[in-house]
Chains A and B, each alone.
Chain A
Amino acid sequence: MRTCARDTALLLAGGFTACVLASVAPPASAFTIDARRLGMGGAFTPRSRELATANVAYHAVADRPSDFGRVIPLPLGLVQLATDFPTFDAESESFDVLRITETILHPPFFLELTEPDPMDGDISISLARNAFAIDFDDARDLLPQEPIRAGTTFAPPLFGLGIRGAQTFVAPLLEAEARVALDDPLYAVLSQGAPLLPNSRYDFQANATSLAGTSFHAGWSGGGWGAPESDGVHVGAFAKYVMGFGFGTADTRVGLATADTIFGDEDPLDVLFDATTRYAPFGQIGNGIGFDAGVAYRAGALDVGVGVRDIATNVWFGKTTVEHSFIDDATGEIVSETVATDESFRLRLPTQTTVNLSWSGRATVLAADLTTSRWGTTTHFGAERRIGWLALRGGLLTDERHNLQYAGGLGLGLSQVWLDVGLQSHGYAFTEERGWTLGTSIGLR
């Protein structure tokens, strides 16, 4: 049986991990099952299924000869994971919260070639009657000084029907969002080894929201209007009906207030803890509507598009349960109150805008895109040069922390079938070291 302190540690570790995880969660566009796109820095190429998710106008844009009609991924990372699956048993010797976090942050669909620093460096704690400081070299620059808001939406079309531009399809929906903020004094204590000072206040705030459900899309996309090779303007607009099967939010504030003497005979610190959670009980289904729209323009080798997804998308839950947790001043225990069990709540999904630009020559493809939302902005740049049966690829991208990452790859083509290998770097969640992912897939033209 675990001790209370260990439970507390797990709670704090989990919370901290979640916050860091949230602060660096990759946007949906960064994840791909296409090794070609991986090697091109994650940039969208015309007519890719992933681009059609970000810009519905691309449902109507015709394939280019260089585009793959279908991608069959070779998820070697899943094999790697299956042979060495991280344990979730906190009592196990091999339990590693870092590895679990990295596994979640960088889903091991493709092969992970590197491992992050185990962060097993020394931790120095200085303690005196009126001073307390922690110095952990590995944690420097670990925590964000500025408040960070990040999230991801995963909603790829699964299947659908279409006739003369009118289409309908179904997509799963996973949405997660978090915001984490440390005030400057607490940031200095945790990240720079600054001592706690008497008569001071240290604050931490974290908010998180998650939603799981499905969406039914109906709309129209078309364009070109007689222009050859799908040139011209293409537009798309879809309405969606969203069903939310699971939903939860948490708003947590933790404060530390020091007195005249930090390690005096009374409680060393006054802990301020206030958390409000809201969730839809099992069986409560949320309903909502929203819209996706996009425009794409093709002129010869040039493709330009602007797509906006989740315009005015709200999901309404008729009954949610609200709980409030705080520290009881009299007992020092955490007390939780259920303050409502039938309160309605409207969840607004973030609007995401994607701008893409590409040039597709006879043997060369250049592509770039930018995705922005209330979670921030990411950019991708990629290039491909085909020489007979060989395709050479490269790319650059900015990650969630605005660090520059690199990509490269090659493809080997035989008739309509291409074997693609892509290599892309990424920053590890905790250490910001550069890691490398190797992806493989088969493209069918």
Chain B
Amino acid sequence: MLLTHRSRGLRPAARWALVGALGLLAAACGKNRVFLDVDVLSFMDQASLVHPYDAPALVPFSARLDSISVNLIEGFQDFGEAQSATLDVEVEYDNATGQGSSRFTIYFSDDPATTFATPPVAVLDVDLAPGTVSTGSLQIPADARVLDLFTSKRFWMGVDMEWNPTGVEPLQGTLRITEIRVRLVSTLDLFG
């Protein structure tokens, strides 16, 4: 005799894996705080972390990275309630020539087609001077929309970069993205 039945409503294996990893923490009382540290930068190609720029004098220059898929823990929202999140961004400009400013903008979205249409989650402005290495960084709290994204299975990140030369020399140098990290604080709620 061979009778087969499928378990009611169970989801794909990938879900089981990561849900299982959290489930093994059932030894916890179910009311613990969970700190989820996501190294968003690690989802970017190494080549896209370094961007040489060359903006002619007084002519703005911009570049855009295609939406980048960031895969997270499937089912995380079923185990905890997100309380807050902090976004850390750091970029470094090794500016060879020219005077001006730069803007580094990050977008997060649940749809790769509308990533750049969503409100930016971080805008980082840095002044550039010739022969100077300038570092720009920020740490900002994330809003409710971003909280939801970080408890989902996947979201997309978009990056816009702009340079605005203000002097008579062309603005030349190299941009390195050194950190994009999100720290999410949630309350574990396995049984609630």
What count of chain B residues pass the 8 Å CB interface test? 52
Do A139 and B10 contact each other (CB < 8 Å), given the known contacts A128-B42, A129-B42, A340-B1? no
Contacts of B24 in A (CB 8 A): 12, 16, 190
What count of chain A residues pass the 8 Å CB interface test? 68
Contacts of A139 in B (CB 8 A): 25, 27-28
B119 at the binding interface (Cβ < 8 Å): no
Contacts of A269 in B (CB 8 A): 13-14, 17-18
Q: Bound complex: CA of A121 vs CA of B5, how far in Å?
A: 40
Q: With CB as the reference atom, state the residue of chain B lying closest to A338.
A: B3
Do A125 and B34 contact each other (CB < 8 Å), given the known contacts A91-B191, A97-B26, A269-B14? yes
- CB of B41 to closest CB in A, whole Å: 8
B175 at the binding interface (Cβ < 8 Å): no
Q: List residues 1-59 of chain B with CB under 8 A from any CB of chain A.
A: 1-7, 9-39, 42-43
Q: Which of B2, B33, B75 is close to A339, meaning CB atoms less than 8 Å apart? A: B2
Q: Which of B11, B21, B36, B37 is close to A332, meaning CB atoms less than 8 Å apart? A: B11
Contacts of A412 in B (CB 8 A): none
Q: Bound complex: CA of A264 vs CA of B18, how far in Å?
A: 13
- CB of B154 to closest CB in A, whole Å: 8
Contacts of A17 in B (CB 8 A): 26-27
B152 at the binding interface (Cβ < 8 Å): no
A112-150 vs B, CB cutoff 8 Å, 1 = contact: the mask equals 000000111111111111111010101100100000000
Contact A4 B4 (CB under 8 A): no
Contacts of A271 in B (CB 8 A): 13-14, 16-17, 20
- CB of B18 to closest CB in A, whole Å: 6
Q: With CB as the reference atom, state the residue of chain B lying closest to A328.
A: B6
Contact A98 B29 (CB under 8 A): yes
Q: With CB as the reference atom, state the residue of chain B lying closest to A133.
A: B37
Q: How many A-B residue pairs have CB under 8 A?
A: 197
Interface SS majority for chain A: mixed
Do A336 and B7 contact each other (CB < 8 Å), given the known contacts A90-B191, A128-B39, A129-B43? yes
Binds A, one of B65-73, B94-102, B124-132, B163-171: B65-73
Q: Bound complex: CA of A269 vs CA of B73, how far in Å?
A: 11
Contact A265 B69 (CB under 8 A): yes
Contacts of A263 in B (CB 8 A): 43, 71-72
Contacts of A338 in B (CB 8 A): 1-4
A13 at the binding interface (Cβ < 8 Å): yes
Contact A327 B13 (CB under 8 A): yes
Do A9 and B10 contact each other (CB < 8 Å), given the known contacts A120-B32, A265-B71? no
A33 at the binding interface (Cβ < 8 Å): no
Contact B3 A91 (CB under 8 A): no
B188 at the binding interface (Cβ < 8 Å): yes
- CB of A31 to closest CB in B, whole Å: 24
A344 at the binding interface (Cβ < 8 Å): no
Instruction: List A residues at the B interface (Cβ < 8 Å).
Output: 3-13, 16-17, 20, 90-91, 93, 95-98, 118-132, 134, 136, 138-139, 142, 190, 254, 256, 263-265, 267-271, 273, 325, 327-328, 331-341, 430
Instruction: List B residues at the A interface (Cβ < 8 Å).
Output: 1-7, 9-39, 42-43, 69, 71-75, 78-79, 188, 190-192
A to B CB contacts below 8 Å, 15 in the list: A8-B20, A17-B26, A95-B191, A97-B26, A97-B29, A120-B31, A123-B25, A129-B42, A256-B20, A268-B74, A271-B13, A332-B11, A332-B12, A341-B1, A430-B27
Q: Supply 19 further A-B pairs (C-beta < 8 A) apart from A128-B43, A139-B28, A268-B71.
A: A9-B23, A10-B191, A93-B192, A120-B28, A123-B25, A123-B188, A125-B37, A127-B39, A127-B72, A130-B42, A142-B27, A264-B71, A267-B12, A268-B74, A271-B17, A334-B6, A335-B5, A337-B3, A341-B1
